[in-house]
Structure 1
């Protein structure tokens, strides 16, 4: 950040009084500009024994497969964000279920939140950010072509829980990646 979004003056990086971390502070108007982690929300759209995946039409990880997910918007819940992202990326309508994974990705200042969801029908198609969308049984998942480690981690938990007939909430963290974790 170089300029204050309130008055346009050049900001300085310093620790404000009463704080412990460096922040972008405007010496002209006194505004403190906090930069906080981004929240990524998504869904595991289920239809019988298959799940819906999207092949990315955008970077990062163009051409790789992922669950429908993206950055949460202001004034929406995580469930609303997951439903919106599924509609945008897969043109699919879902009933959002329970929270399934929460994965911290501190090296890129993100938190990834994925809900289980039920596809309401089989009407789906690639949205603007997807090359294709398809339903996959566990044995057909393109594991070598999964875009993000958070998605691979979520899918492994999902299929393991399904085998045991007991879905539970999972948390975790991702260290520095061999491939990207940005949506």
Structure 2
């Protein structure tokens, strides 16, 4: 950050009084600019024994498969964001269930939250950010073409829970991809 979004003056990076971390501070108007992690919210929508996946029409990971998910907007709850993202990406109506996974992704300053959900009908189609939308049984999931590690982890937890007959709330953290 180079300029204050409140007054337009140049900002300095320093630790403000009463804080412990460096922040962008405007000497002109005194605004302290906090930069915090972004929330990504989505839904693991079921229809019988199948899961709804979207093939991405945008970067990152163009052409890869994911759950309907995206950045939370201001003035909405995480649950509202998951429903909105499912409608935007898959034109699908869902009944939202419980929060299923919460995964910290600190190396990109994000937190990913996935809810369980039930499709209300089979009237879905690709939204603006999807090339195609389809239902997959576990055996047909395109594991090598899943866009994000957090989505693959959520799917693996879901199928493990379903096999065991126990539903759990899963938390975790994902670091950077291993260097090859």
TM superposition score normalised by structure 2: 0.98
Match of 2:128 in 1: 128
Q: CA offset at residue 165 of structure 1?
A: 1.1
1:159-170 residue pairs with structure 2 within 5 A? 159-170=159-170
Match of 2:23 in 1: 23
CA deviations over 1:57-83 (Å, ceiling 9, x no partner):
000000000000000011111111000
Q: CA offset at residue 166 of structure 1?
A: 1.1
Q: CA offset at residue 178 of structure 1?
A: 4.8
RMSD: 0.9
- Structure 2: runs of 5+ lacking an equivalent: none
Q: CA offset at residue 177 of structure 1?
A: 1.8
- Structure 1: runs of 5+ lacking an equivalent: none
CA–CA distance in 1 between the matches of 2:105 and 2:67? 17
CA deviations over 1:123-170 (Å, ceiling 9, x no partner):
000000000000000000000000000000000000000001111100
Match of 1:119 in 2: 119
CA–CA distance in 2 between the matches of 1:89 and 1:47? 17
Distance 1:132 1:178, change over 3 A: farther
Match of 2:14 in 1: 14
CA–CA distance in 2 between the matches of 1:101 and 1:139? 21
Match of 2:110 in 1: 110
CA–CA distance in 2 between the matches of 1:140 and 1:102? 25
CA deviations over 1:93-149 (Å, ceiling 9, x no partner):
000000000000000000000000000000000000000000000000000000000
Match of 2:49 in 1: 49
CA–CA distance in 2 between the matches of 1:52 and 1:151? 12
Match of 2:86 in 1: 86
Count of aligned positions: 179
CA–CA distance in 1 between the matches of 2:178 and 2:41? 22
